[in-house]
Amino acid sequence: MKNLIKEFTKGIIKENPTFVLALGLCPTLAVSVSVANAIGMGIAATFVLLGSSLIISLVRDFIPEKIRIPCYIVIIATFVTIAELCMKAYSPALDRSLGIYVPLIVVNCIVLGRAEAFACKNNTARSFFDGLGMGVGFTLALILISAIREFLGSGQILGHVLIRGFEPVFVFGMPSGALLVIGLLLGFFNLLKDKRA
């Protein structure tokens, strides 16, 4: 049981997919304009991660080596389509604001990366917790980045004004600001890592 917990927690800090493994950056930056978007995307991605990790680890012995990547992709794409359709049905506003980045979860390096690196080599229980941990780590990273961006870029978080009279710094709502935030955050975490070493 302890091992399983470890699989879960490693995805949050030690092997955080965004800040340590630098995977799945495309949607991270695009979606982190607002915390609401971040949470939505995080949940969707975690769902896909969980589903695909589970299924892939279940069938890992039956997939021929040569065509394993296309097989993983089909499995992942199925879960993404499910997520897409659910989102369109139950929260169309979120679907509209996430735009093309929902179908793009299919090519999110995190999902395919974990399938290739973990789920096809480990048993179902461990893969489940690994997927869960990665998903949660990803969501937390998204929330951190989007909190910074939303606060600086519009003075609000989740639509609530935090400081009155704060002049929003519009650049943080733009792609340039996103790249800047993640660059500085990565540098900051590197600094922490070095200090700890």
Partner 1 sequence: MNIQEYLTIFISAVFVYNVILSRFLGLCSFIAISKETKPALAMSSAVMFVIVMSSAITWFVYRFLLLPFNLTYLRTISFILVIATFVQLVEMVIKKLSPQLYRAFGIYLPLITVNCAVLGVAVLNIDMFFINGKSVAGSFYYSVFQGVCVGLGYTLAMLLMSGIRERLELCNVPKSLKDFPLAFIIASILSLSFMGFSGFKF
Partner 2 sequence: MINNLIVSGSPHIHKPESISRIMWTVVISLIPAGIAGVIIFGLDALWVTLVAVVAAVLTELVFGICAKKKITVLDGSAVITGILLAFNLPSGVPLWLPIVGAVFSIAIGKQVFGGLGQNIFNPALVGRVFLMASWPKYMTTFTRPFNYDAITSATPLAILKEGKILEHISYWDLFLGKHGGCIGEVCILALLIGAAILLIKGYISWHIPATYIFTTAIFTYIFGGAQLFSGDWLFHILSGGLILGAFFMATDYVATPLTAKGQLIFGIGCGLLTAVIRIWGGYPEGVSYAILMMNAATPFIDRYTKNKIYGTR
- Positions that interact with partner 1 (CB under 8 A): 22-27, 29-30, 69-70, 73-74, 77-78, 80-81, 84-85, 99-100, 103-104, 106-109, 112, 171, 174-180, 182-184, 186-188, 190-191, 194
Asked if 102 contacts 80 with a C-beta cutoff of 8 angstroms, the reply is yes
- Please tell me what DSSP assigns to residue 14: T
Length of the chain: 197
Q: With respect to partner 2, which residue has the nearer C-beta, 85 or 170?
A: 170
The nearer residue to partner 2, 113 or 168, going by C-beta atoms, is 168
Alpha carbons 53 and 128: distance in angstroms, whole number: 6
Residue 159 partner contact from partner 2, partner 1, none using kind-dependent CB cut-offs of 5 to 8 Å: none
- Nearer to partner 1 by Cβ, of 4 and 107: the residue is 107
**H-run or E-run covering 193:** helix 175-196
Rounded Cα–Cα distance for residues 94 and 83 (Å): 12
Binding partner of residue 25 among partner 1, partner 2, none, CB cut-off 5 to 8 Å per kind: partner 1
Which residues inside 154-193 make contact with partner 2, applying CB under 8 A? Answer: 167, 169-172, 174, 176-177, 180
Output the smallest distance, CB 74 to partner 1, in A.
7
Which has the closest alpha carbon to 51: 19, 25, 86, 26? 86
Smallest distance, partner 1 to C-beta of residue 61, A: 22
What secondary structure does DSSP assign to 117-163, as a single string? IIITTS-HHHHHHHHHHHHHHHHHHHHHHHHHHHHHHHSEETTEE-S
- Picked from partner 2, partner 1, none, the partner binding residue 167 (CB below 5 to 8 A depending on kind) is partner 2
